[in-house]
């Protein structure tokens, strides 16, 4: 019943994104982005607002076209949504008229076409248990807290046992306590899987805790400024241990400097 996840490889080669404006001008969001992501790797994208993080992850997902270059997943050029892809959005985007169980079933998409009802129910039950929502299977989204909705969104993304998991600031709208708890839960889930994960975040501590590498993008037009390896032992299952780690603090400060130094406004010359 269980698909043996191998973890997809992703190659972004000289990719650019531009939006046309009136009178022939263009707004360039991304320029000459190059990135290779190995099977089973967890990579976070960080950078100032407007640098193209969400645009890049949506292009990898086949949800937005790119204007130049190429993106491949397992060697196949992305021209639509790749197979065995899971996507967790900033908003859980649950269907309000469906129960939690039925929302998770939707994540099976094309992979559920050949499954019998018993197998589908077993897969859904397994993922609801994984995110701690078994007893809420028959609840509707309006009956869930924000953190529970995001857990449901994660269960929906994982139910097809994706080789590639894309997450666009999934915890950004949550309170600090819920966010920390879900970070730890995600770390535990990833530790037991070989799924390749690309994660967009503004939270550098979150990126350090979860990632194998952190990709820092420049302000618009975004391009790769630096790729920072996170050389901390894994699995990392508790944030408290990370907060007390000197190397983690060094990595956080380094990434913050990379992001901030491009966003400090130049001071005007003092009048004499």
Does 18 lie in the same domain as 71? yes
Give the predicted TM-score (pTM) of the model. 0.89
Q: What is the mean pLDDT of residues 30-38?
A: 95
3-state secondary structure (DSSP) of residue 189:
helix
The pLDDT assigned to 160 comes to 86
* Measured distance CA(145)–CA(132) in Å, rounded: 13
Does 205 lie in the same domain as 138? no
Q: For residue 262, what are the β-bridge partners?
A: none
Q: Which of 160, 179, 195 is the endpoint of a domain? A: 160
Does 108 lie in the same domain as 242? no
Q: Is the pLDDT of residue 264 over 90?
A: no
Residues 213, 229 contacting (CB under 8 angstroms): yes
Does 207 lie in the same domain as 80? yes
CA pseudo-torsion sign 117, 118, 121, 123:
negative
Give per-residue burial for 213-229: e unless 16+ CB within 10 Å, then b. Answer: bbbbbbbbbbbbbeebe
| 15: enclosing H helix or E strand | strand 10-20
Q: What is the mean pLDDT of residues 43-61?
A: 93
Both tokens assigned to 29:
């969001």
Q: How far is CA 208 from CA 44, 196, 239, in A?
A: 9, 17, 10
Residues 216, 259 contacting (CB under 8 angstroms): yes
Does 60 lie in the same domain as 185? yes
Read off the pLDDT of residues 208-254 as tens digits, 9 standing for 90 and up.
999 999 999 999 888 999 999 999 988 888 877 777 789 999 999 99
Q: Is the pLDDT of residue 268 over 70?
A: no
Looking at residue 204, which CATH number applies to its domain? Answer: 3.40.50.300
Read off the pLDDT of residues 155-194 as tens digits, 9 standing for 90 and up.
999 998 899 999 999 888 788 888 888 898 899 888 888 8
Which runs of consecutive H residues, i.e. helices, occur in 29-174?
53-60, 100-105, 117-130, 146-158
Q: What share of the chain in percent tops pLDDT 70?
A: 89
Read off the pLDDT of residues 109-152 as tens digits, 9 standing for 90 and up.
756 557 778 888 999 999 999 888 999 999 999 999 988 998 89
Mean pLDDT of the chain: 87
Domain that holds residue 122: 96-160
Both tokens assigned to 256:
């913050």
Q: What domain count does the chain have?
A: 2
pLDDT band at 45 (very low <50, low <70, confident <90, very high): very high
């Amino acid at each position: 019943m269980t698909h043996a996840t191998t973890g997809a490889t992703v190659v972004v080669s000289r990719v650019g994104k531009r939006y046309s404006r009136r009178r022939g001008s263009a707004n360039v969001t991304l320029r000459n982005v190059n990135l290779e992501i190995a099977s089973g790797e967890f990579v976070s994208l960080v950078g100032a607002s407007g640098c193209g993080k969400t645009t890049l992850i949506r292009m990898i997902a086949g949800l937005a076209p790119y204007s130049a270059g190429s993106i491949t997943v397992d060697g196949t050029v992305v021209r639509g949504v790749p197979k065995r892809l899971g996507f967790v959005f900033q908003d859980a985007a649950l269907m309000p008229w469906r129960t939690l169980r039925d929302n998770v079933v939707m994540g099976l998409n094309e992979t559920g076409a050949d499954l019998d009802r018993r197998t589908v129910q077993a897969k859904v039950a397994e993922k609801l248990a994984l995110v701690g929502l078994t007893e809420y299977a028959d609840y509707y989204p309006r009956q869930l807290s924000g953190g529970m909705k995001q857990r449901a969104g994660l269960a929906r993304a994982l139910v097809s046992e994706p080789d590639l998991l894309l997450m666009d600031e999934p915890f950004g709208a949550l309170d600090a306590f819920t966010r920390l708890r879900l970070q730890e839960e995600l770390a535990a889930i990833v530790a037991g899987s070989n799924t390749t994960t690309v994660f967009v975040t503004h939270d550098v501590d979150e990126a350090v805790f979860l990632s194998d590498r952190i990709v820092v993008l420049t302000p618009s037009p975004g391009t790769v400024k630096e790729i920072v390896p996170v050389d901390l032992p894994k699995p990392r299952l508790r944030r408290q241990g990370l907060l007390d780690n000197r190397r983690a603090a060094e990595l956080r400060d380094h990434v913050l400097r990379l992001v901030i130094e491009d966003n400090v406004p130049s001071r005007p010359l003092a009048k004499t």
